[in-house]
Amino acid sequence: MQAASCANPPQSAAAHETTSCKIHQIYYSEATRASLDPGFIPLDNSSNERPDWREYWPIRRYLLESDLDPQCYYGFFSPKFRQKTKLEATAVRAFIRQQARGADVVAFSPYFDQMALSLNIMEQAVRSHGECLETLSQCADLLAPGFKIDSVTTSSNTIFCNFFAAKPAFWREWLAQCERIYRLAEEAATPLGSQLNRTAPHGGGTAPLKVFVIERVATLILWSQPRWVARCYDPALLPPSPAPLAAALSIADLTVLDALKLAYERSGLERFLVLYGQLRGRFIERRVPQQSVPPGSR
């Protein structure tokens, strides 16, 4: 399996001071620019030429047009990064420095409840964005051959909101996989391409389904390509999703669920997965019967 793990935040920012990182934060207007963390590099998307692609559009443009330092960590965060993670730029840079030795990807993903309560990131998408199982299954099979709706992802490889920093080698792979989705949606010449352009529920509104697929590409790469080393800021220390069920379950409950998935992933023993399913059902039934768990991932 992939070399990935969750780690505690650094006790000191002194280590690895020479680690280079360029973390950008996207803005859409002067109002959103004023709200950015001054420790990040502003990334201008005020022209917003393709709002249907959300943050993928400015990230794509940057990666296609820029010369990247192979040893530098790059990141592209939405304006809501601090709201969703409670992390400031200083903490982000310090954690990257701490993990710099050997890490290709450093993640800052919130929503531990969504990681633990969903068997995998595509099951979570189906719960969050409506009846899109067939479309998401086809995309997963395209981007991560062998991935099925009963595959397992964990806190060690799940990334929401594209909240990660990575070296250019990983970004090149990420862009190549995203471009497969981009071409399908832009051409809309197949049933899958057309489905990617349809709107899906998201919080109180909607967004194109292709956006939610793009947000899961990093996880699918980590799941399917063992060569990438990922280190994750402990998601249990970051905010949960806005879902009511997130507030009803304890960190202990979520940790047990995630630990069972990790045990299954590392051992392949079916009993861990069976116990996971039993406990998840009991937790949900006990806390909030018949409650759905949308993540509010933007």
pLDDT tier for residue 10 given thresholds of 50, 70 and 90: low
Per residue in 151-166, pLDDT (tens digit) is: 999 999 999 999 999 9
Task: Quote the domain boundaries for residue 236.
Answer: 3-240
- Residue 90 forms part of a structural domain: yes
Residue 257: Cβ within 10 Å count: 26
| Residue 51 domain flag | yes
Is 251 a domain residue? no
Q: What angle do CA 33, 34, 39 make, to 5 degrees?
A: 80
Predicted confidence at residue 298, as pLDDT, reads: 37
258 domain residue, yes or no: no
Q: What percent of the chain has a predicted confidence (pLDDT) above 70?
A: 90
pLDDT tens-digit profile of 26-64? 999 999 999 999 999 999 999 999 999 999 999 999 999
Q: Decide if 108 is inside a domain.
A: yes
pLDDT at 288: 55
What is the per-residue pLDDT across 11-20, written as a single tens digit (0 to 9) for each? 443 344 468 9
Q: Is residue 141 one of the residues assigned to a domain?
A: yes
**pLDDT at position 297 over 50:** no
Average pLDDT score, the chain: 91
Q: How many residues does the chain have?
A: 298
Question: How confident is the model over 122-141, as a mean pLDDT?
Answer: 89
Q: Which pLDDT tens digit goes with each residue over 264-290?
A: 999 999 999 999 999 999 998 876 544
The pLDDT score that the predictor gives to residue 252 is: 96
pLDDT in tens, 57-74: 999 999 999 999 999 999
Tokens of 178: 């995203």
User: For residues 18 and 3, what is the distance between their CA atoms, to the nearest angstrom?
Assistant: 24
Task: Report the alpha-carbon distance of residue 132 to residue 121 in Å, rounded.
Answer: 13
On whether the CB atoms of residues 158 and 101 are closer than 8 A, the answer is no
The answer to whether position 259 is within a domain reads no
Grade residue 118 by pLDDT with cuts at 50, 70 and 90: very high
Q: Which residues have CB under 8 Å from 197's CB, separation 6+? A: 52, 185, 188, 208, 209, 210
Structurally, how many domains does the chain consist of? 1
Of 10, 14, 42, nearest in space to 29 by CA: 42
d(CA 112, CA 251) in angstroms, rounded, equals 9
Q: Looking at the predicted structure, is the pLDDT value of residue 202 above 80? A: no
Asked if residue 282 belongs to a domain, the reply is no
When pLDDT is cut at 50, 70 and 90, the band that residue 292 belongs to is: very low
